[in-house]
Amino acid sequence: QVQLVQSGAEVKKPGASVKVSCKASGYTFTDYYMHWVRQAPGQGLEWMGIINPSVLATTYAQKFQGRVSMTRDTSTSTVYMELSSLRSEDTAVYYCARVGGVAAPLAFDIWGQGTMVTVFS
Amino acid sequence: QSALTQPPSASGSPGQSVTISCTGTSSDVGGYNFVSWYQQHPGKAPKLMIYEVTKRPSGVPHRFSGSKSGNTASLTVSGLQAEDEADYYCSSYAGSDNYVFGTGTKVTVL
């Protein structure tokens, strides 16, 4: 079945970087864009950016530009999100989410299980 | 890009209807018919409930419906059931591969 499986929880110190992975299965990896969305504890969803795995094109939310990098490995059908210069406000659950293509245009139809990133000194 | 505005909470008794609004601008909700809605239970990943303003993915009950007028989209849950108690988020395409989410609404089934 179609699924996205993310890497495990991370604990980082302020100023460090974190890299979260999202492995896709059950569909053709390069046919669908992938997004990253985060959710701070008790807060709402926040869109971070998008990667086109086919051509490695990316678009980042203005808030994260300069601090975020989204990459992919087509050989393992995995996308990565790296966030640098971490601060306490980056403590959140980070989700990867697939955009549904022709079945659900510009909507996030499949989500990963989420990765908790905790930033504290 | 500012978050879309949703009411913090909404409630209804079992069998009743509840409608959640999602207000944006002409650059997002008003400019595109790519509004989607997500249901999130505590500790779980969001689930797609509505896409392209009014369409339901396979498996989503017919009592979930969506609409849009101008810069405001709405999600209506008819015939409320206990399992509908959750947080709901709208999202809209905002052009140039950018997206924005709503502030979220907690729905309580009384």
Using the structure block, give the residue that is written with the tokens 């659950």: A93
List A11's β-bridge partners, or say none: A118
- Chain B contact for A80, CB < 8 A? no
Q: Pick from A44, A47, A50: which is nearest to B104 by CB?
A: A44
Average predicted confidence (pLDDT) for chain A: 96
- Chain A contact for B105, CB < 8 A? no
Q: In what order do the strands lie in the sheet with B18-23?
A: B18-23, B72-77, B64-69
Best CA proximity match to A104, nearest among A41, A5, A32, A37: A32
Which residues of chain B are within 8 Å of residue A112 when distances are taken between CB atoms? 45
| pLDDT digit string, tens, across residues B25-74 | 999 999 999 999 999 999 999 999 999 999 999 999 999 999 999 999 99
Q: Per-residue confidence at A101, pLDDT binned at 50, 70, 90? A: confident
Q: Test B45 with A95 for CB contact under 8 angstroms.
A: yes
Q: Give CA–CA dist B76/B20, Å, rounded.
A: 6
A interface mutation test: which of B37, B39, B51, B87 has the most A CBs within 10 A? B51
> What's the pLDDT at A104?
85
Q: Per-residue confidence at A102, pLDDT binned at 50, 70, 90? A: confident
List the single residue in A with minimal CA-CA distance to B53.
A107
Residue B101 in this model has a pLDDT that exceeds 90: yes
Distance from CA of B96 to the nearest CA of A (A): 8
For residue B11, how many C-alpha atoms fall within 13 Å in the half-sphere facing its CB? 5
> What's the pLDDT at B61?
97
Q: Mean per-residue pLDDT for A67-87?
A: 97
Q: Test A45 with B98 for CB contact under 8 angstroms.
A: no
Q: Per-residue DSSP letters for B15-71?
A: T--EEEEEE--TTTTTT-S-EEEEEE-TTS--EEEEBTTTB--TTS-TTEEEEEETT
Residue A90 in this model has a pLDDT that exceeds 90: yes
Using the structure block, give the residue that is written with the tokens 């969803």: A45
Average predicted confidence (pLDDT) for chain B: 97
| pLDDT digit string, tens, across residues B9-38 | 999 999 999 999 999 999 999 999 999 999
Asked if B21 and B72 count as a contact pair (C-beta separation under 8 A), the reply is yes
Amino acid letter, residue B1: Q
Using the structure block, give the residue that is written with the tokens 């980042």: A60
Tokens of A26: 């059950």
| pLDDT digit string, tens, across residues A22-73 | 999 999 999 999 999 999 999 999 999 999 999 889 999 999 999 999 999 9
List the single residue in A with minimal CA-CA distance to B54.
A104
Distance from CA of B41 to the nearest CA of A (A): 12
Residue B5 in this model has a pLDDT that exceeds 90: yes
Q: Test B101 with A47 for CB contact under 8 angstroms.
A: yes
> What's the pLDDT at B1?
78
Residue A121 in this model has a pLDDT that exceeds 90: no
Cβ neighbourhood burial of B82 (10 Å; 0-12, 13-18, 19+): exposed
Q: Mean per-residue pLDDT for B82-92?
A: 98
Task: Kindly give the residue spans of alpha helices, DSSP state H, lying in chain B.
Answer: none
Q: Mean per-residue pLDDT for A2-27?
A: 97
